[in-house]
Amino acid sequence: MTITAPECLPERGLVPASFALGQVMLGLKNRTLDMSRFSPVPEDVGTPTLDEGHTEVRRQAWLNSLRLADHADYARWTLDSLDEEQHPDRLRKWVTAVSLAKQKKAKPKALNGIAYGNVGSGKSTAVIAAGGYAAENGLMARYLKHSHYLQWLRPNGAPAGYSEQQVRKLFADCDLLVLDELCGEMDNANDWVRKESGDLIDARVASGRPTLCATNLTSSRIGQIMGSRFLSRLGGGAALFEIVGDDRRGPVSWGGGSEAAGPSWG
């Protein structure tokens, strides 16, 4: 490292920082250093309000989690692009409260958030937009599908380069976990599924790290599948975001006969 030498040095130009610092200290000792040549540092040049050096790291971590779930195309959605039925303002306030709690090293009032509603109503888009907003506001956020997590914990099931232990740590330790399709396609859960799912939520609750979930199922149905303890840990004091409406994918119908009723919620 080099800096421009002060005028008190015999030669101007670039000199080693250690030498220049030594001359400055010598000048202070001998009271010969002209302090009038040093301009005051503006207040806005001080310590940045956000750790700008880590902003890009958080953004890439969030995008990588979307890529890992084959959801990279969802990265284009932001809270500003949501409609009112997806509660962008409430999601923004919840994420902001979580971010402030982290700064104060406190536990947020509503630790977890649960977005629920019918298939295709826009839940995934909403929680992913919230996760992107969190990554921009000081939180290490990661996206995860419930089924992927269970798949990656099975022998040889983890993505390339990861071990089962690394998968657990990756999603247990992030500041915000966006857990999508909670209990998706599950009619019941065996003891292993309950344990691994419960351990993830338990670890996050115990450390005060929030989880934002999206599900098509009612709380009672999730309780039937995962057990009352899991439901209590996840839903205790959680913020609820009801997202209902027509299927945004616009599926077409074919064939005849009556259609099976979908899951209820609320």
| pLDDT of 258 strictly over 50 | no
As to burial, measured by CB atoms within 10 angstroms (0-12 exposed, 13-18 middle, 19+ buried), residue 10 is exposed
- The string of pLDDT tens digits covering residues 45-72 is 333 344 556 889 999 999 999 999 999 9
126-151 average pLDDT score: 97
pLDDT confidence of residue 256: 62
- Give the Å distances, CA to CA, from 188 to 220, 223, 234: 13, 10, 18
* % of the chain with per-residue pLDDT over 90: 66
- The string of pLDDT tens digits covering residues 190-218 is 999 999 999 999 999 999 999 999 999 99
Give 44's DSSP letter. G
**Smallest Cα–Cα separation from 140: which of 222, 88, 187, 207?**
207
In CATH terms, the fold of domain 54-242 is: Rossmann fold (3.40.50)
3 state SS of 81:
helix
> What does the mean pLDDT of the chain come to?
82
- The string of pLDDT tens digits covering residues 3-24 is 444 444 444 444 454 454 455 4
How many C-beta atoms lie closer than 10 Å to residue 262's C-beta?
10
Give how far the C-alpha of residue 34 lies from the chain's centroid of Cα atoms, to the nearest Å.
Answer: 50
Place of tokens 């657990």: 168
Instruction: Please tell me the distance from the alpha carbon of residue 223 to that of residue 230, in angstroms, as a whole number.
Output: 7
